[in-house]
Amino acid sequence: MCISGGGQWLVTRFVSCSLVLLAPFAWSESEFEHNHKSATLAAHVHGEASLQVSLQGAILDIRLTVPAMDLLGYEQAPHTAAEKVRLQSAHEFLARPESWLDVDAEARCTLQGHHLESPFEVEDRTSKDHDNHTIHADFVLEASWQCANANRVNSITLRLFAPFPRVQQVNVDWINEASAGIARLSASEPRLLLRAKQ
């Protein structure tokens, strides 16, 4: 069983658990090349977000990375009032993960906390000369749920595509205590299946 203590970095947990679970499998070079768009390996690509999902014991953790261009329509510190409004709206949306990530109701999962890393502040203090340089900026959201019936977490549904249509797909790496996998979510297929319904 691959369970780590509270407060540990999600990526560390995901990688260490993945190594334990995937050790028995022999991955050929061609298979690696075929799966090179896995979320943990993906580069910053407009229109594509990445999501890591870890279900260990009663704890469901996620880490979502989205290019700023896909949420805001720009990749520099906001200057205009409209840009600041878009940034504030993105902050408010991401800060409520329980409103855009649906977990099976039977699992009775309760959001325990979240942490948002934003590339910009609404009131930015950087110089305009610096802001004029093109950068690749990402939003990163980490969130954790405690699930009373964790064995009922069979799927999660991501409701990110309608409010942010520039996000065309989300590349997912997922892991639970029994298996791991990759998936690609989109507006037409926003549901991630973690295991067969019991």
H-helix or E-strand spanning residue 88: helix 81-94
Task: Summarize pLDDT for 85-124 with one digit per residue, the tens.
Answer: 999 999 999 999 999 999 999 999 999 999 999 988 866 5
Report whether pLDDT(41) > 50: no
The burial class, CB within 10 Å (0-12 / 13-18 / 19+), for 75 is buried
Report whether pLDDT(176) > 50: yes
Q: For position 78, what pLDDT does the model report?
A: 87
Does residue 198 lie in a domain region?
A: no
Does residue 74 lie in a domain region?
A: yes
Does residue 90 lie in a domain region?
A: yes
Does residue 5 lie in a domain region?
A: no
Which residue range(s) make up the domain with 159? 48-123+135-193
Does residue 25 lie in a domain region?
A: no
Does residue 3 lie in a domain region?
A: no
